[in-house]
Structure 1
């Protein structure tokens, strides 16, 4: 199966299994808008497992198809592209990482696709030592908010291996980010770090409690007891 055939098969599958009721239900989770077919996650993942082994050139075929999927603006098509690429873990290279970085200008425009990258595909590059954490540094200043969000989300899976101190220092520039979706990603990262090393994370939060966006603290302190959360309330007026 070449890239054109891959696109055709995915689109035919999406049309066949489209579900207007699911489509209406999913739209509530995407404030920036949602265009799609209404497929379930189970339907998508099952089809990915069926398709991936059939690709003529493995990951190269998938990479050629991803921009075509993104051009449609249909949620499930991009999801298929990302998950098919993810299935070729043994074929990941620094060049593939760079290519993924270019996708934010083309079609990674919602939190779900950003988190698909951050939770599944991107951690594999770190796990296999294809790249280092420093390779994400340009992403911290990206003009695309979902690329910035990807950094803390990606690093969550590294915490049990490298600890919290270095990753926390690395994402610190995002503590002054202006975008809600980035605040959520940073807060999620800090919450997971707190589970492993509460003392380090709490010191970090105390450092930023008067200046960083409150949404970060809402997420970061979510698993704390009520009395613990009170320590991180802002003591002076601010957002």
Structure 2
């Protein structure tokens, strides 16, 4: 199967299983327009399993088909590209990492696709020792905010396997503490919440450094699991001047 044939097969499957009721149902999770066919996650996962077992579909085929799918207007086409890529995770290489990095400029434009990358796909490159954390440094200043968001989300699995790295990662992630974009605030806040579970003392010390200057949404996420009296420590001492 050629990359073009794979893209056509995915698009045809999506059109055949379109569900307007699901589009309305899922749209509440997305800001702005949600342009989708309305496929459910189980439907996509089942089709990915079928495609994975189809003769002629390799990681190279998927990576070659991915740009057209990721650039497509409909949400599920990019989803299929990501899920199929993950199905070949044991074959990942440094070249695969560089290819995936290029997708953000093509069409990674929502939190769900960014988090599929950060939660599922990108951690494999760290855990399989294909790249190091340092390879993500340029992403912290990427033009695409969803690429910036993907860094802390990716590091969640890394610190769960390597809790001793938490302290050294705070300076690495400093730049995101004043990022201007809400979706990035959510990503770094989520990371800090998970870091706090593993090393509360170090994480709280880091948060205290930023409590007067960082967006409050970061703290909303980071402090979510704390007791009320602990959360109170991270309130700003002075209201933000408008």
Structure 1 match to 2:194: 192
Structure 1 match to 2:23: 23
Moved over 4 A (4+): none
Number of matched pairs:
239
Listed as ranges, the gaps of 5+ residues in structure 2 are none
**Which has the higher mean CA deviation after the structures are superposed, 198-207 or 52-61?**
52-61
* Partner Cα distance (2:99, 2:55) in 1: 19
Structure 1 match to 2:32: 32
Structure 2 match to 1:225: 227
* Partner Cα distance (1:27, 1:90) in 2: 33
Q: How far apart are 1:25 and its partner, in Å?
A: 1.6
Structure 2 match to 1:209: 211
Partner-residue secondary structure (3-state), 2:236: coil
Instruction: Please show how residues 115-194 of structure 1 align to structure 2 within 5 Å.
Output: 115-163=115-163, 164-194=166-196
Structure 2 match to 1:53: 53
* Partner Cα distance (1:198, 1:19) in 2: 45
User: Cα deviation per residue 1:91-122 (whole Å; 9 max; x = unaligned)?
Assistant: 21111111111111111000000000000000
Contact 1:70 1:106 in 2 (8 A): yes
User: Cα deviation per residue 1:69-98 (whole Å; 9 max; x = unaligned)?
Assistant: 123211000000011011111221111111
CA RMSD of aligned residues (A): 1.2
* Partner Cα distance (2:127, 2:170) in 1: 18
Q: TM-score, normalised by structure 1?
A: 0.97
**Which has the higher mean CA deviation after the structures are superposed, 23-32 or 71-80?**
23-32
**Which has the higher mean CA deviation after the structures are superposed, 19-28 or 52-61?**
52-61
Change (3 A) 1:160 1:72: closer
Contact 2:51 2:57 in 1 (8 A): no
Q: TM-score, normalised by structure 2?
A: 0.96
